[in-house]
Amino acid sequence: MSQGLILDKTIKSEREAEEQDFDPVEAVYKLLKKLKRRPRQIIISRFNLNGEGFRTLESIGRELGITRERVRQIEEEALNILKKKIYQKILTKVTEKISDVFSEHGNIIGEKSLLSLLISKRTQNIRAALLFILQVSPLFKKIKETDRTYEFWVKRKTPMSNFDQIIKLTQNILEKEKRVLSGEIVLQRLKRTVYWK
């Protein structure tokens, strides 16, 4: 057997093992088991973790016989519980993989790009689980849409000056090329700049 073939099999085995460790749905399931029944039910409904669609505070309140404000309070309390360091250990393998993707992309990435890089099978359950993990993890932060950008995610400790620098570098690349470039080509060019070194 040639060394190239052995290396290919080794790399394939490592990737398969990595994919088995990366199970956001299972991680969320384990995390939600830490909650009592009612808060768990509210979180599942609010974050579409059952694949039945996102539910409003009001519709959940009607179903449970409580006010929408009480639903909001229970949701907030449940999220605070899940954000505790002791429970974050459940998410470690998943958040490490997410963190690696952030690192490869300058610690700033759009939600659609992030999800497509993390999951090849775009099932609603995996997508919902990943978005929930991003929400409860202290490592990541969602930046809302502005007149300059669409909404995107950052590693929480990333200075926003990095973002401004990336915008300027991207503008320079596009102005220099004077043509439309794919996101992948722009990223390759950005990786050659001082910012990445």
Q: Where are the domains of the chain?
A: 3-143, 159-196
pTM as predicted: 0.76
Q: Which of 6-20, 27-41, 166-180 has the lowest mean pLDDT?
A: 6-20
Residue 139's nearest CA partner among 77, 92, 73 is 92
pLDDT digits (tens, 9 = 90+) for 92-147: 999 999 999 999 888 889 898 899 888 876 688 899 999 999 999 999 999 988 88
Neighbours of 184 (CB within 10 A): 8
Tell me the pLDDT band of 69, cut-offs 50, 70 and 90.
very high
Integer CA distances (angstroms), 171 to 47, 136, 151, 153, 181, in order: 36, 33, 19, 20, 11
Q: Are 93 and 27 in contact (CB under 8 A)?
A: yes
Say which residue, 65 or 158, is predicted with more confidence: 65
Reply yes or no on whether the pLDDT at 17 is more than 50: no
CA angle 114, 136, 153 (to 5 degrees): 30
Hey, is 29 helix, strand or coil? helix
Q: Are 152 and 143 in contact (CB under 8 A)?
A: yes
Q: Are 158 and 99 in contact (CB under 8 A)?
A: no
Neighbours of 80 (CB within 10 A): 10
Asked if CATH classification 1.10.10.10 holds for the domain at 3-143, the reply, yes or no, is yes
Q: Report the pLDDT averaged over residues 66-93.
A: 95
Give the span between the Cα atoms of 15 and 11, in whole angstroms.
6
Q: What is the pLDDT of residue 129?
A: 95
Residue with structure tokens 């043509």?
179
Give the span between the Cα atoms of 142 and 152, in whole angstroms.
6
